[in-house]
Amino acid sequence: MQKLRTLHLYLGCIFAPMLLFFAVSGIWQTLNLGSQSKTLALLSTIHTSHSLKMGGLTSPWLMIFVLLMTIAFILTTILGVVMAITQGKNRTVAWRCLAAGVIIPLVLVLLRLVA
């Protein structure tokens, strides 16, 4: 388990800055703030791989890095869940939180489909 924790730590530290950027840029895209600011629109090209008339900030090397980040994010998320369930002080709470993380978005999507 110590090796998994170390792997989780290193992958998290390597990719945390980009994950935070993607989370923040996802927020401004969700709130449609990128269309109001040229700077945010330009920064969004990193997240979306779309170019603007003036170009974009994405590149093949950045796209490879983002692909690696995505794989690492998936791996570290799985490792984090495994560690929470196997090493946590209250495993029942960890299972309930995991279930809530699946059920709540599903219910919200279903409510949208019915409405």
Cα(59)–Cα(49) distance, integer angstroms: 8
**Into how many domains does the chain fold?**
1
> What is the domain extent for residue 53?
2-114
Position 111 confidence tier, pLDDT thresholds 50, 70, 90: very high
Cα(24)–Cα(63) distance, integer angstroms: 18
Identify the pLDDT of residue 99.
92
Identify the pLDDT of residue 53.
59
pLDDT tens across 44-89, in order?
777 666 665 556 666 788 778 878 888 888 888 888 888 888 887 7
pLDDT tens across 79-107, in order?
888 888 888 778 888 888 889 988 998 99
Record the pTM.
0.62
